Amino acid sequence: MKQPLFSIAFLFVVFACNSAPSESSVTSMEDEVIAQTGGTISASAFEQKMKIPGVQILDVRTAGEYQGGHFNNALQANWLDQKEFAERVQHIDKTKPVLVYCASGVRSADAMNWMKQNGFADVSNLRGGTSAWRMEGKPLESKASREEMSMAAFSASTKTGIILVDIGAEWCPPCVKMEPVLKQLQKEKGGQFSLIKVDGGIDIEVMKQLRSEGLPTFIVFKNGKETWRKQGIVDYSTLAAAIQ
């Protein structure tokens, strides 16, 4: 009687060992679960989640690091500058998935935890950051910077007429939020003013001369003289009144 029972027990152990999931399959299953709820995920899971409609991608590195290579359509808010970070992420939709990343995954993990504590429903962090992403041979987008605008060129462009200066950047969340307002203003009142864009990541000297302390900043010049200024989100009616 004992021998058959031993054989059955032996066969059960062998079956259990052979059917145990491998480390890679466990990681894959974990990523699949985490990708639905948020957390630190692998590059492959991060890549899959980038395909979700309405997903928001947030680069928490510095503006300089961002320029060196970033994900397509990624927004930027420097985690090491807590004031800037908090101001920018308030313009990100808390109800939609957010993917955060940095160079190694450390800063973005801290940013993810902060965002979860502040009402963001679904935040995922790229494990290993852009370093891990590149190690897997995956590409990042890098745009060649244009030449920096000189102060002389800026002064010449604001010398005559009504000029609305938009100091912003395509990676700045509140700047992105202002784009539809600016397009509407140009469409409805384009004959009354000219729009000049100063890039917050490139035109540093102009920003210094204009004493711009945050993005976006809007300034109105009339025949070379500053007549109005506002930092942050501005509604359509306020901008329309400023260019009158």
CATH code where residue 183 lies: 3.40.30.10
Contacts of 184 (CB under 8 A, 6+ apart): 236
Q: What is the pLDDT of residue 144?
A: 58
135 with 212, same domain: the answer is no
Beta-carbon neighbour count of residue 172 at 10 Å?
Answer: 24
57 with 129, same domain: the answer is yes
DSSP state of 192: T
Q: What is the pLDDT of residue 241?
A: 98
CATH code where residue 63 lies: 3.40.250.10
The string of pLDDT tens digits covering residues 170-198 is 889 999 999 999 999 999 999 999 999 99
Residue at 24 is within a domain: no
Residue at 159 is within a domain: yes
From 143, 162, 196, the end of a domain falls on: 143
The string of pLDDT tens digits covering residues 27-79 is 454 444 444 557 999 999 999 999 999 999 999 999 889 988 999 999 999 99
Percentage of the chain beyond pLDDT 90 is 75
Domain count, the chain: 2
The string of pLDDT tens digits covering residues 96-123 is 999 999 999 999 999 999 999 999 999 9
160 with 124, same domain: the answer is no
167 with 235, same domain: the answer is yes
Q: Does residue 220 register a pLDDT over 90?
A: yes
The pLDDT mean for the chain works out to 87
138 with 173, same domain: the answer is no
Residue at 64 is within a domain: yes
Record the pTM: 0.75
Q: Does residue 164 register a pLDDT over 90?
A: yes
Classify strands 162-168 and 217-222 as parallel, antiparallel or unpaired: antiparallel
Which structural domain, as residue segments, surrounds residue 111?
A: 37-143
Give dist(CA 1, CA 195) in Å, integer: 92
